[in-house]
Amino acid sequence: MTRTWRPPVAWGLLVPGLAVLLFAYAAPMLWVLRMAFNRFIGGGGIEITFTVDSFADVFTDPYYLRVAWTTVKLGLLVSVVTVIVAYPLSLFLVRTTSRFRGLLTILAIAPMLVSSVARTYGWMVVLGNQGLLNSVLKGLGLTDTPVQLANQFSGVVIALVQIFLPYAVLAMTSGFGRLDDTLEQAAASLGAGRITRFLRVTLPLTLPGVLTGLLLVFVLSISAYVTPRLIGGGRVFVLASEIYDQATNQLNWPLAAALSLVLVVVFGVAVTVFGLLQRRVERWVSGR
Amino acid sequence: MRKEYPGAQAPAVDGVDLRVRQGEMLALLGPSGCGKTTTLRMVAGLVEPTAGTITVAGRDVTQVPVHRRGMGMVFQSFALLPHLSVAGNVAFGLDMRKLPAAEKKRRVAEILDRVQLGHLAQRRIGQLSGGQQQRVALARALVVDPSVLLLDEPLSALDAKLRESLRTEIREMQLSSGTTAVFVTHDQDEALSMADRVAVMDAGRVAQIGTPQEIYENPADVFVATFIGRANLLDGVLGTSGVDVPGLGTLPVTTSRPPGPVTALLRPQAVQLLDSPSSQGFAGNVRSASYTGDQITYRIDAAGHTFEVDTVATGAPLDRGAAVRIAWEPAAVKVLPPRNAT
């Protein structure tokens, strides 16, 4: 077997990208990995050694296990709710023949233009005890005592769903691209009503896009820091905020590093599971 | 059936009135944009007619949604569901009719055998060739015993060789099941060879409807004459003794048309090439020849006109510029309304 000879210059083109990855990604990750095995000796002191103390802390302290579980639960809940909300919108954007389709798509993803910090503060205004939502509910006489949403898990979920909605719409509209109208028409001609058509044709064929949306929002949610921190109001603890707290407030870098690695593992598991699922589903709906 | 459909500027289908007989195959033939597909989709229920009604066996189905019309449709792209197997696709319509499993299995197996795909029942759609996909689409539409079988350009996605064999196959399936069928095509050969009757459509209207033979031999106008087959057209004036064509004199014809400007039609096969030493017909010169094995088509300049002439190939084609004489039977000349005067 002969191989095409590639001039060295082709490999040379990879150097800038590889260099950036190496210095901005691989090196810090290795540094974090190494740091996780050092010992914290209080007051910001770190002993360079090789111990699994930090990991022992993470896996034995019920507090950290709860934080990890809260993070995963938040990721699952936010990704599922976001995809359910984004699905009809994405389907509409893909299907519409309106000449405003481009404009509508831009409108749907326009919230991305506002930083998630600003949007989080917006949600604090809306969800707070004296906030817009509670004022309206009170004004309508629906409730006397304010509905607790701020400083709550539920408030974090609501805010994150809105913040990640555009990402889900983007992922899903591109995933729905090959949806072919004639398939639904064929199903209709064979006697399938609206609901059957959706369940037996549209939904299966849009599953790859749904999975992409789920994975994207899950990954974004479990790494979200600002929104859980601000809307959680010191009552909702997730891995990202815990890492920040350990690193900057407690100066316990080994523990922060260990928690970071836990988050990386959660990422890895999610990406692998979704990747396998995605491959199967892609094969299934492509008819091969 | 009667349908009207005003589109954006001009109506896509403008007063089409068709009656399809029980068990017949009707072809809607026309150039792209003539409204044939829109007509078919209105029958299927995929497009809502702006005016008019669609009646099947005496029942008005105009307001009946697609999925309750009980028609079978074969799409140009086949529209097979990629996430289902061959058998899954064929069984889809039976699932919708909530047939018992055993009955369903039997009918799927039976129809797949009829389209010679029994051995591929468990295959995935992506593993099939174009011709096989076409047959699955046909089987899927026929297995539900549709009141009407609708075919939208069923063969245009396939290559030429396959098209011809599938033409026969579709026609035989339709005949043996006795299903009434309407199919849309832009291919005149397909329409002539498959259909009992052909409706030639132009600009949203039916230009002519009739058996393939009627349409070919007695086209209603110049559009139909040129769309179905090749034609020599001679503009002239119809008088009492025949059509007066500049350069050719008066051609004797039989027609019931009133006197006035007309266009005379002469099919290339109706023109004969005479041996040169003859005084009959018109003198001309070979302008070009195209040899296709069994036949040679000449273009011949004679009397200020260019004639297309089909001859049976017997040896090498005549040289360019060769002197020939051409003639035809008076009965071969058909008199049509003058072109550009619709």
- The pLDDT tens digits for B261-290 are 888 898 998 888 876 566 677 888 888 888
Determine contact: B144 vs chain A, CB below 8 A.
yes
Give B115-162 pLDDT, tens digit per residue: 888 899 899 998 999 889 999 999 999 999 999 999 999 888 888 888
Chain B residues in contact with A187 (beta carbon < 8 A): 81, 92
Asked if A287 lies within 8 A of B125 by C-beta distance, the reply is yes
How high is the pLDDT of residue A257?
94
How high is the pLDDT of residue B48?
86
Separation in Å, CA A92 to CA A87, A97, A107, A108, B134: 8, 9, 13, 11, 31
Closest CA to B256 of B211, B218, B208, B224: B218
Separation in Å, CA B49 to CA A286, B34, B98: 34, 16, 30
Of the pLDDT bands very low, low, confident and very high (cuts 50, 70, 90), residue B295 is confident
Of the pLDDT bands very low, low, confident and very high (cuts 50, 70, 90), residue B342 is very low
Q: Which residues, given as ranges, of chain A have pLDDT below 50?
A: none
Phi, psi angle pair for A128, to nearest 5°: -60, 165
For chain A, give every domain's residue range: 45-286
Determine contact: A32 vs chain B, CB below 8 A.
no
- Cα(A277)–Cα(B9) distance, integer angstroms: 49
Take residue A150 and report the two structure tokens written for it: 């701020």
Question: Among all residues of chain B, which has the CA nearest to that of A203?
Answer: B83
Q: Do A286 and B82 touch, CB atoms closer than 8 A?
A: yes
- Cα(B80)–Cα(A287) distance, integer angstroms: 9
pLDDT of residue B2 exceeding 60, the answer is: no
- Cα(B141)–Cα(B300) distance, integer angstroms: 49
The mean pLDDT value for B189-218 works out to 90
pTM as predicted: 0.80
Take residue B284 and report the two structure tokens written for it: 């001309």
Pairing of strands B232-238, B243-245: antiparallel
The mean pLDDT value of chain B amounts to: 86
Of B72, B81, B124, the CB nearest to A183: B81
Of B65, B71, B82, the CB nearest to A286: B82
How high is the pLDDT of residue A239?
93
pLDDT of residue B9 exceeding 80, the answer is: no
For tokens 């697609």, the residue is B66
Preferred mutation among B86, B96, B122 to probe A, highest tally of A CBs within 10 A:
B96
> What is the residue type of A186?
A
Asked if B67 lies within 8 A of A186 by C-beta distance, the reply is no
Q: Do A152 and A131 touch, CB atoms closer than 8 A?
A: no
The mean pLDDT value for B182-190 works out to 91
Closest CA to B66 of B96, B87, B89: B96
The mean pLDDT value for B53-74 works out to 88
Fold annotation for A45-286? MetI-like fold (1.10.3720)
Question: Among all residues of chain A, which has the CA nearest to that of B71?
Answer: A189
- Cα(B331)–Cα(B328) distance, integer angstroms: 8
- Which own/partner contact pairs does A124-132 have at CB distance under 8 Å and 24+ positions apart? A124/A150, A124/A230, A124/A231, A127/A155, A127/A158, A127/A159, A127/A231
Of the pLDDT bands very low, low, confident and very high (cuts 50, 70, 90), residue B331 is confident
- List domains and CATH numbers for chain B: 25-222 (3.40.50.300), 230-336 (2.40.50.140)
pLDDT of residue B34 exceeding 50, the answer is: yes
Question: Among all residues of chain B, which has the CA nearest to that of A192?
Answer: B67
